[in-house]
Amino acid sequence: MPIGPAVSGWLEGTRTLPLCMAALASMLLGCQETGSERSTTSRLSAPDASKLSDASIPRDAEVLPLADASSQNGDAASRTCRPPRNERAFVETPVGYLHRSCVHRVLDGESVHGNEIVRSDGSRIRFHDCRHPAYDRSWCVIDSDSLPTNIGKIAYAAYTLPCPEPDACLRASYLSASWTVPKPPAELRPSLQQTVYVWPGLFDNSVYVYQPVLGWHTKEADGTYHDGWSISSWKCSTLPNCWNSTPISVNPGDVINGVVQGANCSSGICSSVTITTTNTTTGSSTTLSTDPGGRPFYQAIGGLLEAFRVDQCSYYPPTGTVFSSIVVKDQYGGTISNIPWTSSCLSSPDPACGFRVCNACSGVVCPASTVDLGYNLGVQISGDVHLVSGSPNQTLTENQSIWSTTSYGNLQISQ
């Protein structure tokens, strides 16, 4: 790629980069700070760019040719899904694998407007649109036509707000849900641990998803991982960029509450959005403030499971996740009642762990305020097992699998 045009495309008017770094370094940093006149790297690791030299730039951050992505073009049957040559430069996000230059940390007191981070002192950091392909959990390239459904979802429940006429569309302005942090996975994957995400959220019109997220073993842009469970608030897309707030560690049994709150909503479009993920057990929270860019929220996600590097079912947490007390409000601030959450799962997941959303995976309607994500523990029983707590109350016959959801904890063997 010619360097000159790429760099000049990032400049505004007569504004120039005061740091006389090599042009290659400017490409790798992928952003420009205005106001304070300083360049910086992706804010996930947030090193001071003025202290970087060509030699200090991590090799796995090199912008390599995109031949690996273009070779996957074509129909799904003919393309080969595989990691790019610079695999280590990619980050597992709640919408798939994204290049680390496309994932940005938003610090406390900052907000996101378009492709800019606005700091508390009014200075701005501008980023160009992501120049790398996004990949799903199987390392298949995610193209724009597949959004928002093909972003690596394994099991989820969704509600698309009705739009009977162009001027009579129902749109969302608010979502909240609560869920409990599960125990750690029964087994940890050798060499490189698995990453698991669960979250509710709101989609705008096919560009961004706004999501309060619980993640297991999540990755930073500098290549380090958070041990255990953590929460963070995300505004993410596989096209322009992905933004997230400072993660907070949480413990199994903690109760999480996630809120996506629009403000100053008119004609179905909100002028600003705040995503807050709170550990109600400890009172700690992490927040991302942003704007939806004139795009309405047309779809709500009651709960979603996503995972990376899960090669066997025992790599999942031992219990599923129940999202409860789900509330969705329309553009007028009214609560939408009796939401028909529709369940969906990957048709051929690998591994196949018997994923279930509200006890089925094909068009089942979940209760209005509860979404139950479960999967098969791979445990076989030698006699009838009766579920004495939770809903529904049912009997499993011999050799039938036990479903893993937090509401099905107590079992009684039939005589």
Check: CB of residue 401 under 8 Å from CB of residue 354.
yes
Alpha-carbon Rg for the chain, nearest whole angstrom, is 22
Query: Other C-beta atoms within 10 Å of 222: how many?
Result: 16
Q: How confident is the model at residue 80 (pLDDT cuts 50, 70, 90)?
A: low
Confidence of residue 386 (pLDDT cuts 50, 70, 90): very low
Rounded Cα–Cα distance for residues 415 and 410 (Å): 16
**CB-based contacts of 69, cutoff 8 Å, min separation 6:** 84, 132, 133, 141
Residue 28 dihedral angles phi and psi, to the nearest 5°? -70, -35
Query: What is d(CA 244, CA 211) in angstroms, rounded to the nearest whole number?
Result: 9
Q: Which of 73-77, 216-220, 287-291, 366-370 has the highest mean pLDDT?
A: 287-291
Spatial separation of the C-alpha atoms in residues 363 and 356, rounded to whole Å: 11
Judge whether residue 329 has pLDDT over 70.
yes
The pLDDT assigned to 377 comes to 53
Q: Which parts of 246-396 fold into alpha helices (H)?
A: none
Using one digit for the tens of pLDDT, what is the confidence trace for 109-156?
999 999 999 999 999 999 988 889 888 888 888 876 554 444 567 899
CA distance 413 to 153: 35
Q: Pick from 87, 51, 85: which is nearest to 68 by CA?
A: 85
The pLDDT of residue 1: 41
Lowest mean pLDDT among 150-159, 258-267, 268-277: 150-159
CATH class of the 151-235+242-373 domain in this structure: mainly beta
Q: Cα(270)–Cα(261) distance, rounded to whole angstroms? A: 9
Q: What is the pTM of this model?
A: 0.76
CA atoms of 185 and 316, how far apart (whole Å): 5
Upstream peptide bond of 47 is cis (omega within 30 degrees of 0): no
Between 344 and 63, name the one with better pLDDT: 344
pLDDT band at 63 (very low <50, low <70, confident <90, very high): very low
Would you say 320 and 179 are in contact if contact means Cβ atoms under 8 Å apart? no
State residue 365's pLDDT score: 81
Ramachandran bin of 250, using left for φ above 0, alpha for ψ from -120 to 50, beta for the remaining angles: beta
Q: How confident is the model at residue 268 (pLDDT cuts 50, 70, 90)?
A: confident
C-alpha 272/C-alpha 408 separation (Å) is 39
Mean of the per-residue pLDDT values of the chain: 75
pLDDT greater at residue 29 or residue 215: 215
Look at the chain and count its residues: 415
Over range 307-313, report the average pLDDT: 89
Query: 251 or 391: whose pLDDT is higher?
Result: 251
What is residue 206's predicted lDDT score, i.e. its pLDDT?
Answer: 65
| For the chain, domain boundaries | 151-235+242-373, 379-415
Average pLDDT of the segment spanning 71-89: 66
Identify whether the C-beta of residue 346 lies closer than 8 Å to the C-beta of residue 362: no
Residue 58 has pLDDT above 50, yes or no: no
Give the residue-averaged pLDDT of 61-67.
31
Q: Are 89 and 100 in contact (CB under 8 A)?
A: yes
Tally of CB atoms within 10 A around 175: 27
